[in-house]
Amino acid sequence: MNNAFIIGQYVPGESIVHRLDPRTKMVVIFLFVIIVFFANSFWSYALLAVFSLACALFTRIKFSYIIKGLTPVWFLIIFTFLLHLIVTKEGDILFRIFTYPVYAGGVMQGAAISLRFFLLIMVTSLLTLTTTPIEITDAIESLLQPLKKIRFPVHELALMMSISLRFIPTLLQETEKISKAQASRGVDFKTGRVKERIQAVVPLLVPLFVSAFKRAEELAMAMEARGYQGGEGRTKLRELKIQQRDILVFGVFALLIVGLLFTRA
Amino acid sequence: MDISFKNVSYTYQLNTPFEHKAIEDMSFNIPSGSFVAIVGHTGSGKSTLIQHLNGLLQPTAGEVAIGSYRLTAEKKLKDLKELRSKVGIVFQYPEHQLFEETVAKDIAFGPLNFGVEQQEIEKRTAEALKAVQLPEGMLERSPFELSGGQMRRVAIAGVLAVQPEVLILDEPTAGLDPRGQKDMMEMFKRLHKQEGLTTILVTHSMEDALVYADHVMIMDHGRKYMEGSPQEVFVKKEELKRVDLDVPEIIQFIFKVREMFPTDLNYHGQTIPELAEELGRITRGDIHE
């Protein structure tokens, strides 16, 4: 498995970002994702970049770790940049790469879009880096509370999410185990024609589904045996509470939005 | 097929911060036709070790030799299929690998992958089913409607149908009732003799290692801790205790007897009834004197 890929991985810590209410983090990041698209001048981008770098620093996670973890995404970012370089034909010709002209507008556009992309991915990965999956589901349940009025099964949705998150590593383990067993029986997952390789997936998927269904059934039985009956009247072990630091963060974020409005071209 | 490890190490996720040494500097020989038990605690590297035997893992240092086949860190693996057709592995809970619509198809899956002809496959399927003591009427049933023990037997038949020369068993009796465990081990013993297999048994059970193996290897923290015949290894109470392993019951009993009575009773591979008889002889002898 590729462990260089950190998106979705939690890094335990005690920083202020770790201790923020997960709802605060989610709301701020959700809004950030929107306002990133409003930036259109050098200073507005600079402001957003400074904000996200500050967030990253406050997590106390090694910056090199975050950057390295985004390695698979770098490819996309660079690809976006090059695409803009080639396609956009605005402004003056800056220089030529073997007779192919590169326009100033292309560089600007490319840089802006890649930066946008980078900021989006970095900030959203900060959420999962500093928040346990359980906290995220708790936050979603709490944020979706108003939907209960229209009979949306919020608690059930949150439960489904936390169960699926919980079983991802288990399923990965299971996949590895079964693929090894089938490889020992002569299945070749790595070479051969496309058709053969697609067929090779069947002996992997069937046992995986069988065990997943079995596990689901056992889990449901265990939950019922312990008297689980949904969200009605259920108290929580981890109560979410908005604290001073959360209000502070919202304040800073409001300032960011104001600043963005002023620096927009 | 002779098997030998020369200074083999394996490290998971080499060159990452998550590096984890699973086996370290292991060297040993398994001559063709022997029945070897590998004993050790969870996490001692047993499962990693056996995965080297059919090229599922490649050593990160050292050399593994299986017959004429060589696995080293540098060489790229090829002809794995041939190796895998000669080394069959029965993984832990092998029933989890069943997937076909019928028992017959599932057993035939391995031989089919290794390019065995249709007629031969049918012959082997029938033989394998007989070897695991399942009735022939089972061939057309779905493997998913069988009982747990039957499913395990079908999965084992699937490995046997490939007709491997080396059979590796990773805790084959886990989760079976005592009767099922004994039946299963007796079945492997019979196959070992009948087919002239080289059998490697990974187990937690000292009793099974004592009764069935002719060579025992004890692993601890990724290293070979002790090796020898069961009679040699299992009487070393102190050494076993150091790695939290127990002496098999029958030997424990002999130790107890020796502690309490002045006798030179020794373990030399006797079964429980034989030991009882021996004790009878000794006590009767005492009376006569």
Residue A63 included in any domain: yes
Same domain? For A176 and A251 the reply is: no
The sheet with strand B166-170 has its strands ordered as B87-90, B166-170, B198-203, B35-40, B215-220, B223-228
Residue-wise pLDDT tens digits, B67-112: 888 888 887 777 788 899 999 999 999 999 999 999 999 999 999 9
Is residue A47's pLDDT more than 70?
Answer: yes
Q: Which of B57, B76, B97, B105 best tests the A interface by mutation, with the highest count of A CBs <10 A? A: B97
Q: Which amino acid is at A24?
A: T
Same domain? For A46 and A125 the reply is: yes
Residue A106 included in any domain: yes
Residue A141 included in any domain: no
Same domain? For A194 and A247 the reply is: no
Same domain? For A120 and A152 the reply is: no
Domain holding A113, by residue range, is 16-131+241-263
Is residue A192's pLDDT more than 80?
Answer: no
Most trustworthy range by pLDDT among A135-139, A199-203, B153-157: B153-157
* Tokens matching residue A142: 């709490």
Residue-wise pLDDT tens digits, A134-164: 888 889 989 998 998 998 888 888 888 888 8
Is residue A1's pLDDT more than 50?
Answer: no
Give the number of domains in chain A.
2
Q: The tokens 């832990």 sit on which residue?
A: B92
Same domain? For A81 and A210 the reply is: no
How high is the pLDDT of residue A76?
87
Q: Which residue has the higher pLDDT, A194 or A144?
A: A144
Residues of A in contact with B88 (CB under 8 A): 184
Q: Is A50 on the interface with B (CB under 8 A)?
A: no
Same domain? For A102 and A183 the reply is: no
Q: Which of B13, B94, B109 sits opposite A203 (nearest CB)?
A: B109
How high is the pLDDT of residue B76?
77
Rounded Cα–Cα distance for residues A178 and A153 (Å): 35
Is residue B9's pLDDT more than 70?
Answer: yes
Minimal C-alpha gap between B42 and chain A (Å): 16
Its ipTM equals 0.87
Residue A44 included in any domain: yes
Residue A234 included in any domain: no
Residue-wise pLDDT tens digits, B225-265: 999 999 889 888 888 988 888 888 888 898 888 888 888 78
Residue-wise pLDDT tens digits, A90-129: 777 777 777 788 888 888 888 998 999 999 988 988 888 8
What residue ranges do the domains of chain B occupy? 248-289
Residue A191 included in any domain: yes
